Amino acid sequence: MESPVVKNQKCSLGQFWTIRVWLKRDSGQYWPSVFHTMPSTCSCMSFNPETRRLSVGMDTGSICEFILFEDYNKMIPARTYQAHQGRVSVVLFVLEMEWLLSTGQDKNLTWHCSESGQQLGTYRTMAFVSGLQFDIETRHAFVGDQSGQVTILKLEQDSCSLVTTFKGHTGNVTALCWDPVQRVLFSGSSDHSIIMWDIGGRKGTAIELQGHNDKVQGLCYASHTRQLISCSSDGGIVIWNMDVTRQETPEWLDSDSCQKCEQPFFWNFKQMWDSKKIGFRQHHCRKCGQALCGKCSSKRSTIPLMGFEFEVRVCDVCHESITDEDRAPTATFHDSKHSIVYMHYEPTTGSLLTSGTDKVIKSLNMTWDSGLI
Ligand SMILES: [Zn+2]
Ligand SMILES: [Zn+2]
């Protein structure tokens, strides 16, 4: 799988409608080697190191395919797919199937045969798609959209069927990442959260990871170190230790009065009248899920084993039960110092690339102890 030349590559979406290949020189610096002018703005890309095939989605709805030479000093156009009406949002090349999967502004998921160039099938999604992953073994496509849903589709050669839909985010799904070994799907959202959907466990476990203060923009999984890397538009990069067993957050309980002190909540007019009490706002303890008044849930704590790396509201009893050991962080936090729009992790070199709204590409090195240099 590993190609020695590919290690030193990165491709960028240029502002003048160009595709550029950057080569890492002996000095350790990246220098541009070759570029290709494009007919319109590039919106997404997928690169396969084995075949050196680069698929570039564009604002016009077409996907341009290039083959890069072995020395990465030349690239030749191979094929153009008229895939969508409107901007291509995600493109994904699957070598094992010889499929080119893509989603676009026209809300269609389409897949083409990359050998013949023919369109094989199409599926109309509920909303604009912003995340796409594919499981080669079972031929399942995971589609994350702007309504916050993740749809699982089973793709056949020329047809597809809806398997199930996951709902968990309160904002758009902005990124998806599939780990085929553990059979876990990660979804990132504009609601600042990440959800880990344990599909392989077959128990319907969904674990929330709260470690960002802004929209999640990218997710990558480092399978050899079992770390999830996530980034957000405020420049934050979080490296999550996925060797830790985390618990699901509880369902929030419904009550008309505080489940500790029995003060009525403000909509409970009857009890307020009967006991001549003022109504209180309802809050929830993030650990036990009980519906509580502000006074009975005044404490704050991190609960890393529930995915809360930031302090959240907890009740007094739960606050007592959380030990210092429980509070040990299960993730490390880093600042890329630019507003990230895209992130790529290269497992063969351990390098993490981020590109930002400042039009800068940054290359960071992931170290074994979860650090970034
Ligand atoms: Zn209370
Ligand atoms: Zn509690």
Give the domain CATH number at 312. Answer: 3.30.40.10
> Among 224, 249, 251, 219, which Cα is nearest to 237's?
219
Which one-letter DSSP state was computed for residue 251? Answer: P
User: Residue 367: what pLDDT?
Assistant: 66
287 alpha carbon to ligand 2 midpoint, in Å? 5
258 alpha carbon to ligand 1 midpoint, in Å? 5
User: Residue 373: what pLDDT?
Assistant: 57
Residue 345 falls inside a structural domain: no
Q: What are the φ/ψ torsions at residue 72 (nearest 5 degrees)?
A: 60, 20
User: Residue 270: what pLDDT?
Assistant: 75
Tokens representing 94 are 């699957």
289 alpha carbon to ligand 1 midpoint, in Å? 14
Which one-letter DSSP state was computed for residue 311? Answer: E
- Closest ligand, as measured to the CA of 253: 2
CA separation, residue 232 to residues 128, 143, 212, 218, 360 (Å): 20, 20, 7, 7, 16
272 alpha carbon to ligand 2 midpoint, in Å? 24
276 alpha carbon to ligand 1 midpoint, in Å? 16
Q: Give just the sign of the alpha carbon dihedral 308, 149, 344, 153.
A: positive
Q: Which residue has the tokens 């936090």?
A: 333
Residue 296 falls inside a structural domain: yes
CA separation, residue 120 to residues 126, 182, 292 (Å): 20, 30, 54
- Closest ligand, as measured to the CA of 315: 2
Q: Which H or E run contains 192?
A: none
User: Residue 369: what pLDDT?
Assistant: 56
Residue 315 falls inside a structural domain: yes
Residue 295 falls inside a structural domain: yes
292 alpha carbon to ligand 2 midpoint, in Å? 9
204 alpha carbon to ligand 2 midpoint, in Å? 23
Residue 267 falls inside a structural domain: yes
* pTM for the model: 0.88
User: Residue 79: what pLDDT?
Assistant: 95
Q: What are the φ/ψ torsions at residue 185 (nearest 5 degrees)?
A: -110, 130
**What SS3 state is found at 170?**
coil
> Among 233, 209, 183, 211, which Cα is nearest to 339's?
233
- Closest ligand, as measured to the CA of 277: 1
288 alpha carbon to ligand 1 midpoint, in Å? 14
* Total number of domains in the chain: 1
Tokens representing 45 are 């890309």
- Closest ligand, as measured to the CA of 316: 2
Q: Low-confidence residues of the chain, pLDDT below 50?
A: 1-11, 13-15
Residue 269 falls inside a structural domain: yes
CB atoms within 10 A of CB 366: 24
User: Residue 203: what pLDDT?
Assistant: 80
**Edge-to-edge, what's the strand order for the sheet holding 129-135?**
129-135, 140-145, 149-155, 160-167
Q: Where are the alpha helices (DSSP H) in the chain?
A: 269-274, 316-321
Residue 155 falls inside a structural domain: no
CB atoms within 10 A of CB 167: 10
Residue 107 falls inside a structural domain: no
96 alpha carbon to ligand 2 midpoint, in Å? 49
- Closest ligand, as measured to the CA of 265: 1
- Residue 305: which domain range? 249-329
